[in-house]
Structure 1
Amino acid sequence: MEPNIASPAALIGDPGRAAMLQLLMDGRAHPAGALAWAAGLTAQAASNHLARLVDGGLVTVEREGRHRYYRLANAEVAHALEALAVLAAPVRSLEQPRSPKARALRDGRCCYGHLAGRLGIAVADGLVDRGLIVPADDKLYAVTASGRAWFEDLGLDLASLRSKRGAARQCLDWTERRHHLAGPLGVALLSRMADLAWIDADKASRAVRLTALGRQELLARLGVDLEAVEGREAA
């Protein structure tokens, strides 16, 4: 019997639920009030939508005292949302003058725990150009011997990063239409970059900003010069 894809598709298809799911793409747990505000819904409407998402297996809820916090059920939900974003018609505002929020999300954002946007693409390109990871079959990246040494020098334990779907995966970026690094390795790299103060995460959105120290380190370690890229695009 074929799986009933109509059920999750119907859940995602509602604009209010889709807006809440997109906020949850940052990989964090959010209270219903924050999700209601992001989706432009009343508290009661958001509660009803969240109940349906939980019943449909797309979202899980965690209780802390009297409070409830919601997050995506698993990485598969995030992959489905990212794939749908790629299938959607290109957003014209991305090529025109954009709001600061939209511009920040395109420049760098958290995609279910890993780095996306222009910053994510630049990091993935730098890793590939230096021969640290190599595109492989089934939308995976193979980590080379020099790559293992590079990541371990950064403080990552690759032996602990295991997944049935592969520790390093290619994720098609919905704004850039190119691949960035996902999977457990991508998640660990983003977390380590935050620990090293290379990036700052916007608490109110999925936006991620590269710090001055981060610019220096990415240039030294990966040859990534984001200032040059931004300069060419502004010209």
Structure 2
Amino acid sequence: MAGWIDSGNAVQASVVGLARELSDPVRLTALQLLAAEGPHTMVQLADAMGVTPPRLGNHLARLRAAGLVTVEHTGRHAVYRVTRPEIADVLTALARYAHHDGLATPPRTSSPVDVAHTCYDHAAGRLGIAVFATLVDGGALDPPDGRTGELALGADLTALHRLGVDPDAVAPRRRLALACLDRTHRVPHLGGDLGRLVLDAFVADDLVRRQEGTRELLVTARGVERLPVLLPGFTPAT
């Protein structure tokens, strides 16, 4: 019994330590970026997060001390990556829980932009997240592991074909698929040329329409009917 208690105390201490590091928004965001998009230099992380490198450096030192990230020196650059890919599952679960309607603290008011907008040439917001989750859950894409931001095709492309996309149509010299951290919802959406092809297919099928002069994507009446069928869990309503 004593051994079981000691083991439980060690696990509890580990969980408490992890929670302490994730409680800071700078460290949390740095981990989210590294887990979703793969290795970054400190300058790349600082630019993406909008913080100064010296401030970020202190937080990265804490994450290293906690065993959550590692650093590799390549020439003049220090490249950071997550130590264990499983941290992505923890961060995704926390982000989804934080957006759950049952929380005591009401979430901020949603908007059409939260539902669907563009990020470069691919879909972001809840629509882009649903595309990513559908393809990973369906086995069309391998999940990110924190080692690289690029995603590989999985063994079962059925979910991809159901979205009207042929992966052989990817443009030469463009990266196939990327896990791109959704800055609003803190979970990945699908980037890369595959993300572009999915959005183009949705537009061609009149499921969504681009809004001139804005990044917002309008979900059409046809999209309201069809998208929840194609993307389980996606709800077009704001």
Superposition TM-score, scaled by structure 1 size: 0.54
Which of 154, 164, 170 is residue 197 of structure 1 equivalent to?
170
- Change in Cα spacing, 1:208 to 1:41, as seen in structure 2 (3 Å) is same
Which of 16, 40, 51 is residue 41 of structure 1 equivalent to?
51
Where do 1:124-203 residues align within 5 Å?
Answer: 127=138, 182=143, 188-189=152-153, 197=170, 201=178
Report the CA distance between 1:16 and its aligned residue: 0.9
Report the CA distance between 1:93 and its aligned residue: 5.5
Where do 1:95-110 residues align within 5 Å?
Answer: 95-98=111-114, 100-101=118-119, 104-108=124-128
Task: Decide which structure has the larger Cα Rg and report it.
Answer: 2
- Check the 8 A contact 1:105/1:208 in 2, yes or no: no
* Residue 208 (str. 1) matches residue 197 (str. 2): no
> Structure 2: where are the runs of 5+ without partners?
1-5, 101-106, 146-150, 158-165, 183-187, 209-218, 225-235
Superposition TM-score, scaled by structure 2 size: 0.54
> Structure 1: where are the runs of 5+ without partners?
109-116, 128-132, 134-150, 152-179, 220-224
Tell me how far apart the structure 1 counterparts of residues 77 and 136 of structure 2 sit (CA, whole Å): 38
- Secondary structure of the corresponding residue to residue 188 of structure 1: coil
* Superposition CA RMSD, Å: 4.2
Q: Highest relative contact order (Cα 8 Å, sep 6+), 1 or 2?
A: 2
Tell me how far apart the structure 1 counterparts of residues 72 and 205 of structure 2 sit (CA, whole Å): 39
Tell me how far apart the structure 1 counterparts of residues 179 and 97 of structure 2 sit (CA, whole Å): 27
- Secondary structure of the corresponding residue to residue 86 of structure 2: helix
2:190 alignment partner AA: V
Identical amino acids, percent of aligned pairs = 29
- Change in Cα spacing, 1:121 to 1:29, as seen in structure 2 (3 Å) is closer
Report the CA distance between 1:65 and its aligned residue: 1.1
Deviations 1:19-72 (A, max 9, x none): 111211324110111212333322111011001101111111121012101111
Give the count of matched residue pairs: 167
Deviations 1:177-199 (A, max 9, x none): xxx97488xx5326999786285
